[in-house]
Chains A and B, each alone.
Chain A
Amino acid sequence: GQQVMQIPQYQHVQEGEDFTTYCNSSTTLSNIQWYKQRPGGHPVFLIQLVKSGEVKKQKRLTFQFGEAKKNSSLHITATQTTDVGTYFCAGLKAAGNKLTFGGGTRVLVKP
């Protein structure tokens, strides 16, 4: 079945630094979505990428969809304490019915 993998599993970042988290799917995707879950909270939708090579920005967050539509990345610049949480990517196969989530990257920010 479809697998979605994320690396790293944990990311310890100094406040103010940049980092990138990566997402890889075993199958070609029709779209990929990113969610953020704060500790003790629920996943919150951040963005969806649909086109091959697509890049979208949300303030300090930059999302990219790979050319082959099998991988994606999230880059955060100038990390802040409010960025703490787990970032999940989730992929949907073409004509698929289920959004498959990766294992998440848990981000801890050192002030």
Chain B
Amino acid sequence: NAGVMQNPRHLVRRRGQEARLRCSPMKGHSHVYWYRQLPEEGLKFMVYLQKENIIDESGMPKERFSAEFPKEGPSILRIQQVVRGDSAAYFCASSPNPPRQGGGYTFGSGTRLTVV
């Protein structure tokens, strides 16, 4: 009965490298959301995806950030040419229904990205 699985748990990257964060939603959930959290702050919405489609990416920076949720495999959040300001916890969440139908999200344990 696996929940939302995120890996890696911790990721260290040097400035200029690429970071790839993976998220496998709960079984039966086809809606995936990525949020970013800085220490002592709330969760900032980045992107909402449904299988093979980006539904809302209004919270994602236009440059260096991309997200996908392929037909097969996990959702991927990709950050190119990382900078120190990208250091944060990145949480993935999933739900069985779209947001407008209500219902809570199930969150993964997060990936803590540190850029050195």
State the A residues within 8 Å of B (CB): 6, 30-31, 33, 35, 41-48, 50, 88, 90, 92, 94-104, 106
In the complex, which residues of chain B have a beta carbon less than 8 angstroms from the beta carbon of A90? 43
Chain B 78-108 per-residue mask, 1 if CB under 8 angstroms from chain A, else 0:
0000000000000101000011101111111
| Interface residue? B66 (CB, 8 A) | no
| 17 contacting pairs across A/B (C-beta < 8 A) | A33-B104, A35-B104, A42-B109, A43-B107, A44-B107, A92-B100, A92-B102, A96-B99, A97-B55, A97-B100, A98-B45, A98-B48, A99-B33, A99-B45, A101-B35, A101-B44, A106-B40
B45 cross-chain contacts in A, Cβ below 8 A: 98-101
Q: Interface on B for A, CB 8 Å cutoff?
A: 33, 35, 40-45, 48, 55-56, 58-59, 91, 93, 98-100, 102-110
Bound Cα distance from A67 to B106, whole angstroms: 28
| Measured CA separation A94–B102 after assembly (Å) | 10
One of B42, B102, B109 near A102 (C-beta < 8 A): B42
B96 CB to nearest A CB, Å: 13
